[in-house]
């Protein structure tokens, strides 16, 4: 075989090769051909195995999409709860199978819509939710026992989750029947997205309190979605996304154990959220490596015994950072390829970006096309008929192994710095991502990387798609609504619940029941955050570059 390969190599070198470089979107070099020599150490049973079998490289379910398709979950939210409720109903009527709530920046940062720091941001990049009143409107006439809901919120996640639980309670739906996910991943906020409120230690307490509360009361709920998506969007490579996300996951496992929880009581409800960028095979290898690494670490390092604790279940969103303002219709094609790699990588749910998201929040037409992209994948392409069809490919298996080895090397570097929190304080992650983003941009500017419509194949055509515009009057109306709420509710009851919350924050008791009490009394998000700030303080990043 070696003789044959040498002959092929000699022949290849005699051929003309077009101008490179030949590399992944993460700048990893790619060989012209992969053969058995690239995968000599791979053991089928130990490294690949069958779907639904340890280490789950080929998928977490035995029957994967032949049993059930992925959840089609479009991330949506804009303006007020009324407009977003209408969008959710439209998406469900078009065949979407799960909901995903996008909150606006004031809600993400813990400010009510009438706060001075909310000015100009209310309803702009998501829906404004100030209180239980808004959450009730957001899900009006949507039975919460019949839909799985994901909510993208981190620093104030415990508060918004509590609003959702009380909304379900008012619909007559008990908490144990609810299914969905709260993102609740504060570590990646310090690393990449920068939407924090409290310092890391009390933030981790809120998260482990959520683990414990869900174990006892909301057992079908995913209490965290450990997110590589925003790490990737900040400029990380696929390997960095994989390694930093899993390192965060291990940090949450250690926090849960430190809080006195049994790993098998909360690990089955940990979920993940990955990006799907444009390099087709690199993305598939990333997902396969992620499952394998997670299963091994959970079993060998953390002593997990339940099979569910070993399963890395994940949501995927196509790469917003890959979309271009130039020739935005091209984004439909980019998104379709990215969605296909997510499905071939075994995702459990998927959001496909709309072509206009680089310019504005998506229009109804654009989001419908994005949803149709998933439906065409599911019902027309045939890729769902065979489980992990790329297994055994020399190239894909070699890439998967490279991803695994690269991630382990990053874990060692993080450990040398004292763990994830210490590495955050040292800006290790931030520097690594910044370096990768700089390299990528230089490759585009030097035309080592061609982006169609941006640095190649440009046109002078004018933009001809309709964009969604948010009426400025919406902000004034939302601010007035929260003022009216404060004027009409039982304010003595509100103050009593907030005082009880503060007392609990000063103790080591679980915070979630007291947050729920405050939410039931129609305390606003801003008021609850303000009480917690009094006890926990606020985070200030110490930038070193």
Q: Select from 3.40.50.300, 3.20.20.240, 3.60.21.10, 3.40.630.40 the CATH code of 49-446.
A: 3.20.20.240
Q: What is the dihedral of CA 5, 11, 14, 16, to 10 degrees?
A: -90
Over range 356-375, report the average pLDDT: 94
Does residue 412 have a pLDDT over 80? yes
Over range 335-344, report the average pLDDT: 98
What phi and psi, each to the nearest 5 degrees, are found at residue 120?
Answer: 85, 0
Please state, rounded to an integer, the average pLDDT across all residues of the chain: 96
| Least confident residue range of 11-20, 343-352, 370-379 | 11-20
| Least confident residue range of 118-132, 332-346, 460-474 | 460-474
* The pLDDT of residue 460: 87
CB–CB of 396/281 below 8 Å?
yes
pLDDT level of residue 1 (50, 70, 90 thresholds) = confident
Distance of CA 86 to CAs 78, 141, 328, 375, Å? 10, 10, 26, 21
* The pLDDT of residue 461: 81
* The pLDDT of residue 479: 97
* The pLDDT of residue 544: 63
Beta bridge partners of 99: 74, 149
Does residue 443 have a pLDDT over 80? yes
* The pLDDT of residue 107: 98
| Three-class secondary structure of residue 63 per DSSP | coil
pLDDT more than 70, % of the chain = 100
* The pLDDT of residue 20: 85
Domain boundaries, the chain: 49-446
pLDDT level of residue 176 (50, 70, 90 thresholds) = very high
Exposure letters 378-409 (e unless 16+ CB within 10 A, then b): beeeeebeebbebbebbbbbbbbbbbbebbee
Cα 508 to Cα 318: distance, rounded to the nearest angstrom: 40
Does residue 240 have a pLDDT over 70? yes
Q: Which spans in 234-363 are helix H?
A: 238-258, 263-266, 280-300, 307-310, 330-344
Quick: pLDDT tens for 261-310.
999 999 999 999 999 999 999 999 999 999 999 999 999 999 999 999 99
* The pLDDT of residue 257: 98
pLDDT level of residue 545 (50, 70, 90 thresholds) = low
Beta bridge partners of 149: 99, 180
Over range 343-358, report the average pLDDT: 96
Quick: pLDDT tens for 28-77.
999 999 999 899 889 999 999 999 999 999 999 999 999 999 999 988 88
* The pLDDT of residue 469: 84
């Amino acid at each position: 075989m070696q003789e044959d390969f040498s002959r092929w190599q000699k022949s290849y070198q005699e051929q003309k090769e077009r101008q490179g470089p030949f590399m992944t979107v993460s700048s990893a070099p790619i060989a012209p051909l992969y053969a058995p020599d690239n995968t000599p150490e791979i053991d089928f049973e130990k490294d690949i195995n069958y779907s639904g079998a340890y280490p789950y490289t080929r998928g977490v379910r035995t029957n994967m999409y032949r049993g059930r398709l992925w959840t089609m979950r479009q991330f949506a939210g804009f303006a007020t709860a009324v407009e977003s409720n209408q969008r959710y109903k439209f998406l469900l009527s078009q065949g979407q199978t799960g909901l995903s709530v996008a909150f606006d920046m004031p809600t993400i940062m813990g400010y009510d819509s009438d706060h001075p720091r909310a000015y100009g941001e209310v309803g702009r990049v998501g829906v404004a939710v100030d209180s239980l009143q808004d959450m009730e409107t957001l899900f009006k006439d949507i039975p919460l026992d019949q839909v799985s809901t994901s909510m993208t919120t981190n620093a104030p996640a415990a508060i918004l989750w509590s609003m959702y639980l009380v909304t379900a309670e008012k619909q007559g739906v008990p908490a144990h029947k609810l299914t969905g996910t709260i993102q609740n991943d504060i570590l990646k906020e310090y690393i990449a997205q920068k939407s924090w409120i409290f310092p890391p230690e009390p933030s981790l307490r809120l998260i482990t309190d959520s683990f414990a509360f869900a174990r006892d009361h909301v057992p079908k709920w995913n209490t965290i979605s450990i997110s590589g998506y925003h790490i990737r969007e900040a400029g990380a490579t696929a390997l960095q996304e994989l390694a930093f996300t899993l390192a965060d996951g291990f940090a949450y496992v250690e926090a849960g154990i430190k809080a006195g929880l049994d790993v098998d009581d909360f690990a089955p409800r940990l979920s993940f959220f990955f990006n799907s960028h444009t390099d087709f095979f690199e993305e598939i290898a990333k997902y396969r490596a992620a499952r394998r690494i997670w299963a091994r670490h959970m079993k060998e390092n953390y002593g997990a015994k339940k099979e569910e604790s070993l399963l890395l279940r994940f949501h995927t969103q196509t790469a917003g950072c890959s979309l271009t303002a130039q020739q935005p219709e091209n984004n439909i094609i980019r998104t379709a390829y990215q969605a296909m790699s997510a499905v071939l990588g075994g995702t459990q749910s998927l959001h496909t970006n709309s072509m206009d998201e680089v310019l504005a929040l998506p229009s109804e037409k654009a989001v419908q096309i994005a949803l149709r992209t998933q439906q065409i994948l599911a019902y027309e392409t045939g890729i769902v008929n065979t489980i992990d069809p790329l297994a055994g490919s020399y190239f894909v298996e070699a890439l998967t192994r490279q991803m695994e080895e690269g991630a382990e090397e990053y874990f060692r570097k993080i450990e040398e710095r004292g763990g994830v929190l210490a590495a955050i304080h040292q800006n290790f992650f931030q520097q690594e991502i910044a370096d990768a983003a700089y390299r990528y941009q230089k490759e585009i500017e030097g035309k080592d990387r061609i982006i169609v419509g941006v640095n190649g194949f440009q046109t002078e055509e004018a933009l001809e798609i309709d964009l969604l515009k948010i009426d400025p009057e919406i902000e004034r109306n939302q601010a007035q609504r929260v003022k009216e709420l404060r004027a009409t509710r039982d304010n003595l009851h509100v103050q009593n619940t907030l005082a009880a919350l503060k007392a609990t924050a000063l103790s080591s008791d679980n915070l979630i029941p007291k947050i729920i009490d405050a939410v039931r009394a129609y305390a606003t998000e801003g008021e609850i955050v303000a009480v917690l700030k009094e006890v926990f303080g606020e985070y200030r990043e110490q930038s070193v570059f």
